[in-house]
A and B are shown apart, each in its own frame.
Chain A
């Protein structure tokens, strides 16, 4: 949550916008709103949410355990897509093409970090790593494996296998700063409309 470089101004605003946001923020922040959002003890909601997929939970029937399987190919639908997109070429901003903007190189405590924002049809569709700390060969591999989720999400979604991906993110400040500068450049160049 590091404050990045100044953001470029967003698009035109509706005159009533401020008031509406205020009302929404207020409604979200009220106790009633929170009670709604925190209605986590209402089991019936989850049952309906996943009905048809699983049997209703029986709290006494606690767990199932499985040994690791070896279905490696089934588990890796997005591998090819990752490879191709991280090498996406910088292209002229025509319809459907991907335009890449390199972010600033930011010094982190582990070394320099630089990322590339890839824009398609006005939206950020992927983030590629240009530079990441490489104090030894192993860390390069580990760091590249640990690309923030946006990349795998965008790419796996394109692969038509899943709609989205859940995982933990540990976005370093350097990554965020570099990405923000790339996004700012893309907005300044008019490539980003979303």
Chain B
């Protein structure tokens, strides 16, 4: 195990989209002001897509106050992508059939978070950064390396112990990593196919080329249960690591686990 290694040239934590987004940028630094632009972008996404705000486009559309053609182009594209993902997951991910905080049944928040962080990563890359990690409440995009010839080390939270890891991954970018789980009492993920909370798994982690898709797939895998490992294995570019309540761990063939350290 290497000791810590590359200097972080820029570290920033922003509270936005109902979570904390942290930026860890290694050399080279992006141009001055790029991070401010990214932060502004994330707040714009929040204002557009928040299901906690009465005035967001997504809330107004969910309530029928706006029609599809009155929505911004980006919002339309997100909704179309939600429909595609519902098809791809056999209905296990369905942003149009889940209870949202605003009282509607439209909640694309998981996809939106992943998508917006991918956009943030592209903005930083356009501004000259090549090696960085953005963590949005446990959903991660990684670009480049942590240090020359060194992968990023990403811990996957142990479902029962917040300060422990179930597994540690060594990855180079570009990659997105998303985890679905219900650690907290009272928290739940609804299976849209039956309209009731699911308890099939303790945790589902999906890595792949696009964080928004990985997030949707993690939600779908969590809902589908352990058998979803075969389904995820058939999704090109995506790999999964699933943990059941009894501590059994299952991963698809391409999952880049460094060492399975799951313990109870």
A residues sitting closer than 8 Å to B (CB atoms) are 1-4, 10-11, 13-14, 17, 20-21, 24-25, 28-31, 33-34, 36-43, 45-46, 49-59, 61-72, 74-79, 81-82, 110, 123-124, 127, 139, 142-143, 145-157, 160-171, 173, 176, 179-180, 183, 194
Contacts and interface: CB of A to CB of B under 8 A. Distances in A.
Interface of B: 1, 3-4, 11-13, 15, 17-20, 22, 24, 33, 36-37, 40-41, 44, 46, 50-53, 72-74, 77, 81, 101, 109, 115, 118-119, 122-123, 126, 133, 135, 137-140, 142, 146, 151-158, 160-166, 168, 170-175, 177-187, 203, 205, 207-210, 212-213, 229-230, 233-234, 236-239, 246-256, 259-264
B163 A2 contact: no
A40 B183 contact: no
B161 A145 contact: yes
Nearest to A156: B155
A9 to B, nearest CB: 13
A57 B233 CA distance: 8
Given A40-B238, A165-B154, A167-B179, A75 B18 contact: no
Given A38-B213, A49-B171, A78 B164 contact: yes
A70 B182 CA distance: 23
Contacts of A55: 253-254
A152 B157 contact: yes
A162 B154 contact: yes
Nearest to B52: A1
Contacts of A169: 19, 137-138
Contacts of A25: 41, 44
Contact of A164 (B77, B133, B233, B260): B133
A72 B263 contact: yes
Nearest to B210: A40
A1 B53 CA distance: 7
A80 to B, nearest CB: 9
A135 to B, nearest CB: 11
A37 B120 CA distance: 11
Given A2-B18, A53-B151, A148-B19, A45 B237 contact: yes
B233 A3 contact: no
A167 B212 contact: no
Contacts of B19: 148, 169, 171
Contact of B229 (A21, A63, A180): A63
A17 B32 CA distance: 11
B264 A59 contact: no
A49 B173 contact: yes
A56 B115 contact: no
Given A160-B3, A165-B138, A58 B122 contact: no
B15 A183 contact: yes
A95 B17 CA distance: 31
27 contacts: A1-B53, A17-B33, A17-B37, A37-B115, A37-B210, A40-B210, A46-B236, A46-B237, A46-B238, A49-B174, A50-B171, A63-B233, A65-B248, A71-B261, A75-B165, A78-B164, A146-B183, A146-B184, A150-B22, A163-B133, A163-B152, A163-B153, A164-B133, A166-B138, A166-B154, A171-B137, A183-B15
